[in-house]
């Protein structure tokens, strides 16, 4: 028995609902002291942030040395430090983006709340359509509370979730407590006590809105903002009652209500009593669509130039698909992103190469690192390429044999972070977007780019068919993009690098404009060879050939010049827009993370399949000698639950326990084929265990249809 001895220690505790875990049980006396220390820390409330800091620092050393333990402690610590610095940057950007994403809604809502008529009979109510994903509401409401704080002063914005409002009394308590207590910083039950001191001897019940009134009267304010986060989940009778009650206070307290609505305002109002609904004076506000938020988050967290780790296309595609198909929410995406970072730094020893501190890294590198690098796919590819294509034998030899040479290669910044290549990739993407011919979203574009690189081929024909105005605006857009970069992606303008391109583009613009002017003077229309061609194709098919030749013959001097300019533009863009598979370059394994499985296992568990497999093929887990031959069939040596599950699968929807028992006993009992079985009582004990476990896992329940029968509940 694995835990026989442990059981002796903690049998009592095992049957206790909750307890403080202390395996050594000798800190009884010490417990008296910390109380004092804590008082010190309590005073210093700003210590909370430091506390977080200390949590972080205390968690250093949780990384396990890799290379089968050959990795040095320092290297592991460096990986951990790198993780923290890498992730904190990403996280800050993501938080910022999330805040920005809701900015519009926030502004509208607060404008509505501010402009609400003060002497109206109705309660102003903002319906915020949040969409079905309740997970992302928390942040929105936190932000709302922040932005509305100055209106609600001195009371706090109250935010209620359905779970916190079981009945009217509790809801009122919550409203009063939250509106007053946070401002007073007083956590007592009688938190209005301070108020009642000013207000004479009057004591208030904690669900009496009079208390709130008295509290607000001190500062001459009457406004209270209450937000209902998951409105649909509230009991509609409760909401109606609450509205009626709040309305009856309208002359003394001016409530403003915010409703987070997942479905629609109509449905919400239909649920309320008419008498309650008529007191609401509402405005509807839409929250930014999840997909566009996702794109911003994607830019900030995945594609941003500052991201240390790059997620590979397979993982990204899986993540994006999950966003589309399941209600995971932005939070889920961010969690996955974080987990990918964690995995990368925790499990990949080469992630240490991403450390910013070069000196430290130099000291930390050990032979195992170099050996691992030489095993890399990208390394072998690179050496092969050098040997076969460039026939640089010397380079290949030194890379393979000379540690110092390799180290030098590693420490080239461009190799370690691939900054240049990634920068080019992002610039290409920005240009591609500025061209504006792609119908794909940025996310798709990015994934395609990291899979197979970027080139202009897909857009060449559309560029050729541009009309003069299109050319001008396209070129202008491209120049703008080059000048401005994309702050969302952390790419600054690179006009100095691309001065020549900009110059060429400007030249094209000028020429096109002058051509246009000329045509206007001539009274003709400026066309290119390609646009003419397409026009012909569209007219008739029979006369195609004749008209084609006619058309090109009709091209004027200006048209021909324009065609030449188009060609120029195309070539120019083609040269700018070309980037290969960056994610396969040398040492990319150090900064690319593209493994789908841990993410899927960890965030989309399949407990049903797991349990089923454990029961059907225990050997897969136990790897014991006895059960290997069973191969998914019932055998006497399997755990009782597993045998019962095999029988369970063969049975119908209703199972006779007597028959189940006899089948079980026939298999494991004394006179089974292999002999050496259990006697009846022993087998019965096992049988009981198995059956009880099946019941606990919810496979069977009692059936009243027949005596000693159980009903099947799961078909896995």
Partner 1 sequence: MDVDVEPEEESAPTPTTKRRGRPPKQTVADEDNGTTTTPKSKGRTPVKTPSRPNGVSSIDTPSRRNVADRSARRKSARALIDRVMGDATSDDEERDETIAREIYESSGAEDESGEEEEIDTEAAEEIAAVTDTPSKTPARRKRAARKKSPTPPRDLPPHEQYFYQNKPGLTKTSNNNLSSLDLLTHDEYFTILRKLEQPHAEEIRSLQSLHAESFPQWMFELSQGFSICLYGFGSKRSLLRDFATHLYSRTEDHRQSKIVVVNGYVRTTSTKEILTTIGTAIDPSQKVASANPMTMLHNLQSLLSSHDTTITLVINSIDAQPLRRQAIQSILAQLAAHPQIHLICSADTPDFSLMWDSGLRSSFNFVFHNATTFAPFTAEIDVVDEVHELLGRKARRVGGKEGVTFVLRSLPENAKNLFRLLVTEVLVAMDDGSGASAEGTGVEYRMLYNKAVEEFICSSEMAFRTLLKEFHDHQMITSYKDILGTELLSLPFRKDELEAILEDLMS
* Residue 212 and residue 225 in contact, taking contact as beta carbons nearer than 8 Å: no
The interface with partner 1 within residues 318-347 (CB under 8 A) comprises: 327-329, 331-332, 335, 338-339, 342, 346
Closest distance to partner 1 from the beta carbon of 565 (Å): 54
Q: State the minimum distance, in angstroms, from the CB of residue 650 to partner 1.
A: 8
Does residue 174 bind partner 1 (CB under 8 A)?
A: yes
Among 315, 396, 447, 655, binds partner 1 (CB under 8 A): 655
Task: Identify residues 218-237 at the interface with partner 1 (CB under 8 A).
Answer: 230
For position 404 contacting partner 1 by CB under 8 A, the verdict is no
Q: Which of 652, 671, 673, 675 binds partner 1 (CB under 8 A)?
A: 652
Residue 141 · residue 159 · CB < 8 Å:
yes
DSSP labels for 341-371? Answer: HHHHHHH-GGGGGG-S-HHHHHHH--HHHHH
Name the minimum Å distance from CB 105 to partner 1: 19
Shortest gap between Cβ of 642 and partner 1 (angstroms)?
9
Q: Which of 8, 29, 45, 119 binds partner 1 (CB under 8 A)?
A: 45
Q: How far is the CB of 241 from partner 1 (least distance, A)?
A: 18
Cα–Cα distance, 346 to 182 (Å, whole number): 41
Nearest to 332 by CA among 134, 101, 161, 96: 134
Mark residues 565-604: x for contact with partner 1 by CB under 8 A, - for none. ------------------------------------xxx-
Which H or E run includes 123? strand 123-129
Closest by CA position to 222, among listed 204, 209, 233: 209
Q: Does residue 121 touch partner 1 according to CB under 8 A?
A: no
- Give the closest residue to 594 by CA, choosing from 305, 318, 352: 318
Q: Is 48 in the site for partner 1 (CB under 8 A)?
A: yes
Shortest distance, position 316 Cβ to partner 1, whole Å: 19
Write out the two tokens for 517.
């002017």
Report the residue from 8, 25, 46, 55 that binds partner 1 according to the rule CB under 8 A.
55
Strands 280-286 and 123-129: parallel
Between 577 and 694, whose beta carbon lies closer to partner 1?
694
Binding to partner 1 in span 511-550, by CB under 8 A: none
Of 162 and 366, CB closest to partner 1: 162
Does 163 bind partner 1 (CB under 8 A)? Our answer is yes
Return d(Cα 364, Cα 477) in angstroms, integer.
47
Q: Among residues 176, 147, 149, which one has the least CA distance to residue 160?
A: 176
User: How far apart, in whole angstroms, are the C-alpha atoms of residue 43 and residue 492?
Assistant: 46
For residue 671, the minimal CB distance to partner 1 (Å) is 17
- Per-position x/- string for 122-161, each x denoting binding to partner 1 as judged by CB under 8 A, each - no binding: -----------xxxxxx----------------------x
Token pair recorded at residue 244: 């009626």
Q: Is 109 exposed, middle or buried (0-12, 13-18, 19+ CB in 10 A)?
A: buried
Phi, psi of 227 (to 5 degrees): -110, 130
> Does residue 657 interact with partner 1 by CB under 8 A?
yes
The answer to whether residue 712 forms part of the interface with partner 1 (CB under 8 A) is yes
User: Looking only at residues 57 through 116 of this chain, which bind partner 1 when binding is defined by CB under 8 A?
Assistant: 58-59, 62-64
Contact status: 293 vs partner 1 (CB under 8 A): no
Stretch that binds partner 1, among 430-438, 454-462, 555-563, 656-664 (CB under 8 A): 656-664
Q: Of 69, 220, 523, 698, which one interacts with partner 1 (CB under 8 A)? A: 698
Shortest distance (Å) from residue 689 CB to partner 1: 5
Residue 638 phi, psi dihedral angles, 5° rounding: -65, 160
- Does residue 348 touch partner 1 according to CB under 8 A? no
Among 131, 313, 618, 677, which residue sits at the site for partner 1 (rule: CB under 8 A)? 618
For the segment 660-689, give every residue that binds partner 1 (CB under 8 A): 661-662, 681-682, 684-686, 688-689
Identify the three-state secondary structure at position 51: helix
Q: Strand, helix or coil at 586?
A: coil
The DSSP string of 386-443 is HHHTS--HHHHHHHHH-HHHHHHHHHSHHHHH-HHHHHHHHHHHHHHHHHT---S-HH
- Of 8, 25, 37, 523, the residue at the interface with partner 1 (CB under 8 A) is 37
- The C-alpha angle 117, 118, 119, rounded to 5 degrees, equals 100
The answer to the question of residue 23 lying near partner 1 (CB under 8 A) is yes
CA 700 – CA 627 distance, rounded (Å)? 25
38 binds partner 1 (CB under 8 A): yes
């Amino acid at each position: 028995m694995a835990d026989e001895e442990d059981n002796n220690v903690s049998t009592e505790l095992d049957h206790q609902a909750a307890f403080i875990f202390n395996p050594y049980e000798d800190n009884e006396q010490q417990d008296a002291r910390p109380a004092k220390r804590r008082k010190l820390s309590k005073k210093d409330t700003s210590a909370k942030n430091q506390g977080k800091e200390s949590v972080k620092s205390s968690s250093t050393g949780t990384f396990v040395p890799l290379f089968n333990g050959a990795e040095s402690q320092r290297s592991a610590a460096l990986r951990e430090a790198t993780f923290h610095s890498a992730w904190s940057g990403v996280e800050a950007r993501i938080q910022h983006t999330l805040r920005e994403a809701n900015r519009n809604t926030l502004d509208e809502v607060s404008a509505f709340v501010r402009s609400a008529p003060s002497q109206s009979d109705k309660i102003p109510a903002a319906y915020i359509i949040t969409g079905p994903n309740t997970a992302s509401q928390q942040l929105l409401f936190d932000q709302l509370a922040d932005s509305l704080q100055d209106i609600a002063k001195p009371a706090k914005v109250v935010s209620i979730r359905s779970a916190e409002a079981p009945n009217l009394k509790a809801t009122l308590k919550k409203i009063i407590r939250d509106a007053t207590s946070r401002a007073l910083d007083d956590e007592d039950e009688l938190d209005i006590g301070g108020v009642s001191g000013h207000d004479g001897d009057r004591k208030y019940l904690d669900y009496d809105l009079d208390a709130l009134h008295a509290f607000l009267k001190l500062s001459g304010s009457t406004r209270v903002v209450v937000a209902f986060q998951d409105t649909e989940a509230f009991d509609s009778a409760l909401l109606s009652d609450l509205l009626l009650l709040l309305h009856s206070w309208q002359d003394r307290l001016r409530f403003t209500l915010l409703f987070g609505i997942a479905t629609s305002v109509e449905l919400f109002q239909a649920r309320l009593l008419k008498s309650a609904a008529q007191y609401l004076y509402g405005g509807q506000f839409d929250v930014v669509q999840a997909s566009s938020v996702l794109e911003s988050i994607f830019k900030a967290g995945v594609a941003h130039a500052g991201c240390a780790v790059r997620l590979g296309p397979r993982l990204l595609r899986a993540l994006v698909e999950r966003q589309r198909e399941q209600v995971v929410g932005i939070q889920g995406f961010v969690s996955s992103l974080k987990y990918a970072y964690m995995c990368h730094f925790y499990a990949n020893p080469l992630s240490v190469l991403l450390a910013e501190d070069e000196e430290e890294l130099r000291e930390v590198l050990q032979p195992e690192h170099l050996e691992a690098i030489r095993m890399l796919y990208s390394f072998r590819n690179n050496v092969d390429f050098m040997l076969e294509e460039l026939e640089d034998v010397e380079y290949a030899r030194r890379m393979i044999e000379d540690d110092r040479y390799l180290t030098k290669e590693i420490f080239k910044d461009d190799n370690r972070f691939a900054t240049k290549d990634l920068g080019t990739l992002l610039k290409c993407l920005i240009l591609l977007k500025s061209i504006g011919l792609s119908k794909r979203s940025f996310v798709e574009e990015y994934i395609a780019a990291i899979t197979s690189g970027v080139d202009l081929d897909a857009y060449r024909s559309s560029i050729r068919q541009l009309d003069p105005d299109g050319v001008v605006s396209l070129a202008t857009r491209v120049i703008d993009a080059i000048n401005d970069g994309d702050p969302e992606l952390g790419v600054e303008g690179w006009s100095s690098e691309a001065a020549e391109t900009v110059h060429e583009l400007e030249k094209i613009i000028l020429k096109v404009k002058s051509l246009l002017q000329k045509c206007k003077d001539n009274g003709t229309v400026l066309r290119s060879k390609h646009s003419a061609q397409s026009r012909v194709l569209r007219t008739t098919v029979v006369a195609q050939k004749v008209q084609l030749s006619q058309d090109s013959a009709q091209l004027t001097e200006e048209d021909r010049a324009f065609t030449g300019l188009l060609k120029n533009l195309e070539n120019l863009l083609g040269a700018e827009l070309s980037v290969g598979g960056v994610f396969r370059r040398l040492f990319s394994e150090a900064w690319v993370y593209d493994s789908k499985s841990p993410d899927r296992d960890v965030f989309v568990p399949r407990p049903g399949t797991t349990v089923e497999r454990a029961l059907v093929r225990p050997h897969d887990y136990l790897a014991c000698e006895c059960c290997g031959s069973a191969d998914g069939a019932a055998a006497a040596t399997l755990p009782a639950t597993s045998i019962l599950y095999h029988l369970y699968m063969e049975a119908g929807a209703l199972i006779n326990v007597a028959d189940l028992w006899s089948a079980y006993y026939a298999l494991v009992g004394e006179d089974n084929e292999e002999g050496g079985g259990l006697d009846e009582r022993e087998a019965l004990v096992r049988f009981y265990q198995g059956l009880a476990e099946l019941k606990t896992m919810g496979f069977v329940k009692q059936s009243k249809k027949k005596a000693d029968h159980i009903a099947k509940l799961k078909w896995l």
